[in-house]
Amino acid sequence: MVQEINRKNIGCRWGIVFVVCCLNLLFSGCAVLEKSAGPDNGAGLYAVGLPSGDDLLGAFAPVFLLEEHQLSYNRIGTPSVRSGKNGEGEIFINPNLATFFVESREFTTGKATYTNLIYRIHFEETPKGLFPFHLSAGKNVGLLIIVTLNDKDQPVLYTSAHTCGCYLAFIPTNYMLLENYPERWQLGGRQSVFGESLPSILEFDKEQAGQEQVYFRIGDSTHRIADVDIRSQGEGRDEVHTAQRALRSSLWQLPFEDGATVSFFELDGPRKGYVKDSGKIFERLLISWWAFDPHVGEDKAYGAASETGTVFYTSLKYWNREASDMWEFADFLEFWGWRM
């Protein structure tokens, strides 16, 4: 009897250890290891060329500081096509050429009209592995940064999300009217965003309007935003990796052989609107069943659902799917508590 009880106790202990390990692996997928080196930690600097004239997309283009950028999957790349099986076009991200996919789009709320400057970038992959374990591991992953300008072309809000709609973050600026903040927003200090510490407000020097840029630090492997700050325009550009610009719409017509083009996204079937070859096996196993979405975590087109075939939702609660659609930006802001 004593031996049987001991065996049960040992089995129970191992069961607890197994559950703890699984939870540790799950939550470590949303974590980024802290770096102990200097402020930039040797990060690679990626930016488009300095703006000229009335080039708003150039003037407000984010600058990216990429950790461990010597690893190809940490470099901003370019969605490209190569010959695959049976000569068909195969999508991949070329890490040797950086491209920002951009678009300018107006939207109107009950109070005012704003302009969104949209920037989309892509990486080869978030690597698979156990130590560390990344919940979002998969290929052809991407990141969106949206800069919202008021009617004076002043940046009032920076919104970021991965191109799966996950890891949503808002960072307002000191051009945002106090009456437009969500209730209980903590001005000053830092905010916790899925385990990352980000500023709760960006303070521009209003006397130096147009002379500053926002720098986004991108974490190793996960491509999570690890920090955001403002610096003088052109700071550190002696060692910059210059990115080219392309229209967001060009992602549907990537050049292939003999003048042919291939879409970065699936054009029909159950995965219509999703980035080709962007499956997220761990998110499907651990999240899809309670989020009621077999494609949860998969990167997708950013656009009107009626055209792309998929909703760019930012809330995992299935009943909030349309209400949290990031494309319908006025409704999206209202859903998340902004009163702009």
pLDDT tens track for 53-84 = 689 999 999 999 999 999 999 999 999 999 88
For the chain, report the end-to-end CA distance as a whole number of angstroms.
69
In angstroms, the CA 212 to CA 161 distance is 23
Look-up of token digits 């989309």 = 120
pLDDT for position 36: 33
Of 295, 291, 300, the closest CA to residue 321 belongs to 291
Report the chain's mean pLDDT, rounded to a whole number: 86
Kindly tell me if the per-residue pLDDT of 25 is higher than 70: no
Burial class (CB in 10 A: 0-12, 13-18, 19+), 161: buried
The pTM is what? 0.87
Burial class (CB in 10 A: 0-12, 13-18, 19+), 315: middle
Beta-strand runs (E) in the chain: 44-47, 63-66, 78-83, 89-94, 99-108, 113-126, 138-149, 155-162, 169-172, 190-193, 196-199, 212-218, 225-232, 240-242, 244-247, 254-255, 261-262
Of 145, 44, 34, the closest CA to residue 100 belongs to 145
Least confident of 9-13, 65-69, 83-87, 130-134: 9-13
25 against 287, higher pLDDT: 287
Kindly tell me if the per-residue pLDDT of 23 is higher than 50: no
> Prior bond to 294 cis, omega within 30?
no
pLDDT for position 136: 81
Please compute the mean of the pLDDT values over residues 80-106 and round it to a whole number: 93
Residues pairing with 163 in the sheet: none
pLDDT tens track for 284-340 = 899 999 999 999 999 999 999 999 999 999 999 999 999 999 999 999 999 999 999
pLDDT for position 37: 36
Least confident of 128-137, 208-217, 220-229, 241-250: 128-137
Q: Please report which confidence band the pLDDT of residue 239 belongs to, taking 50, 70 and 90 as the band edges.
A: confident
